[in-house]
Amino acid sequence: MDKDVVPEREARAYEAVHDSADFQELKRRYKNFVVPWTITFMVWYLAYVACNNWARDFMNTQVVGHVNVALVFGLLQFVSTFFIAALYGRFANRRLDPLASGLNAKYKRERRR
Half-sphere exposure of 85 (CA within 13 A, CB side): 6
What is residue 67's DSSP assignment? E
pLDDT at 101: 97
pLDDT at 112: 85
pLDDT at 63: 97
Give the pTM.
0.84
In tens digits, the chain (113 residues) has pLDDT values of: 455 556 888 888 889 999 999 999 999 999 999 999 999 999 999 999 999 999 999 999 999 999 999 999 999 999 999 999 999 999 999 999 999 999 999 999 988 87
